């Protein structure tokens, strides 16, 4: 199946925009981005095997870009290689999830602090528009996660720090893989919107300390819920 023309996550949207001005974007980068999108959305299950031929068929590419994409995904830890040599989707246990959230807290807090210093009126309007979507009430967790990732992705962009953006894009995928390993309802209704609004107000006020503090509370809230769900999933096995 050819790769989708419209990519849902914020980083791949940026890649597609860049592609318009750079028609020679390597196919390996496109395949890599699409596989990461599938991982982020939980459409590739932990332990699921992948092969070059499967990627070639799915994205209608030759073996070289498929091989390069797999190699990069292995290096970043999204895929693992078993004794048989065939790559498979990495399985995330509680210890790995804790490490991911340690990194997410560090990067998210830095992004919020920088965004409070650098946000323009245009940036604030974009963030507010995403909040308006969330206020309207996403239809289920999948739609919420799309809005949530765009809100955080907008803050990464506003931070104007390439290293924050690069690290955050990897952590978004890792967080998506945690989501795919959990079972049960993620209770975003009771707290996410209020916390996003608190983060937004601090960025709008240019208060970097308040933005960082609000983001830290928000990240820790999500961490507690996700790891609790992951623990529950492990107990069922």
Q: Both 154 and 230 in a single domain?
A: yes
Q: Both 152 and 56 in a single domain?
A: no
Q: Both 203 and 115 in a single domain?
A: yes
What pLDDT shows up at residue 103?
95
Number of other CB atoms surrounding residue 205 within 10 Å: 12
Measured on CA atoms in the order 219, 166, 144, 42, is the torsion positive or negative? negative
C-alpha R_g of the chain: 18
What pLDDT shows up at residue 39?
85
Q: Both 186 and 202 in a single domain?
A: yes
Q: Is the pLDDT of residue 16 over 60?
A: no
Query: Which residues make Cβ contacts (< 8 Å) with residue 16, sequence separation at least 6?
Result: 7
> What residues pair up with 79 in beta bridges, in sequence order?
89
The overall pTM is greater than 0.85:
no
**Closest C-alpha among 176, 188, 180 to residue 141:** 188
Q: Is the pLDDT of residue 171 over 80?
A: yes
Of 40, 62, 89, which marks where a domain is finished? Answer: 89
Beta carbons of 233 and 181 less than 8 angstroms apart: yes
**Closest C-alpha among 60, 53, 52 to residue 30:** 60
Range of the domain at 23: 10-89
Q: Tell me the per-residue pLDDT of 93-123, one tens digit each, with 9 for 90 and over.
A: 899 899 999 999 999 999 999 999 999 999 9
Q: Is the pLDDT of residue 174 over 70?
A: yes
Q: Is the pLDDT of residue 130 over 90?
A: yes
Query: Which residues make Cβ contacts (< 8 Å) with residue 36, sequence separation at least 6?
Result: 12, 73, 78, 173
Of 89, 122, 147, which marks where a domain is finished? Answer: 89
Q: Both 48 and 109 in a single domain?
A: no
Q: Both 78 and 118 in a single domain?
A: no
Q: Both 99 and 62 in a single domain?
A: no
95 Rama sector, left if φ>0, alpha if ψ -120 to 50, beta otherwise: alpha
> Inter-axis angle of helices 208-236 and 192-204, to 10 degrees?
160
Q: What is the mean pLDDT of residues 147-164?
A: 95
The total number of structural domains that make up the chain: 2
One-character DSSP codes across 122-188: HHHHHHHHHHHHHHT--SSHHHHHHHHHHHHHHHHHHHT-HHHHHHHHHHHHHHHHHHHH--S----
What pLDDT shows up at residue 182?
63
Element containing residue 211 per DSSP (H, E): helix 208-236
Of 89, 107, 141, which marks where a domain is finished? Answer: 89
pLDDT band with cut points at 50, 70 and 90 for residue 38? confident
**84 or 159, greater pLDDT:** 159
What pLDDT shows up at residue 111?
98
pLDDT > 70 fraction of the chain, expressed in percent and rounded: 84
What pLDDT shows up at residue 19?
40
Q: Is the pLDDT of residue 4 over 50?
A: no
The answer to the question of residue 166 being in a domain is yes
């Amino acid at each position: 199946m050819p790769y989708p023309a419209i990519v849902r996550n914020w980083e791949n949207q940026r890649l597609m925009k860049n592609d318009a001005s750079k028609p020679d974007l390597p196919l390996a980068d496109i395949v890599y981005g699409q596989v990461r999108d599938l991982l982020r959305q939980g459409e590739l299950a932990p332990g699921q095997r992948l092969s070059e031929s499967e990627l070639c068929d799915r994205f209608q590419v030759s073996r070289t870009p498929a091989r390069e994409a797999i190699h990069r995904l292995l290096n970043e830890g999204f895929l693992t290689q078993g004794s048989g040599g065939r790559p498979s989707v990495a399985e995330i246990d509680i210890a790995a999830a804790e490490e991911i959230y340690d990194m997410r807290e560090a990067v998210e807090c830095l992004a919020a602090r920088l965004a409070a210093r650098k946000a323009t009126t245009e940036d604030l309007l974009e963030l507010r528009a995403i909040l308006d979507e969330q206020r309207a009430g996403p239809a289920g967790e999948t739609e919420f996660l799309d809005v949530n990732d765009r809100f955080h992705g907008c803050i990464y962009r506003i931070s104007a720090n390439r290293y924050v953006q690069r690290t955050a894009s990897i952590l978004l995928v890792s967080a998506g893989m945690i989501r795919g390993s959990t079972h049960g309802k993620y209770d975003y209704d009771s707290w996410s919107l209020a916390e996003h609004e608190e983060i937004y107000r601090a960025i709008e006020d240019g208060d970097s300390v308040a933005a960082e503090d609000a983001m830290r509370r928000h990240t820790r809230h999500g961490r507690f819920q996700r790891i609790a769900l992951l623990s529950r999933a492990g107990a069922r096995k």
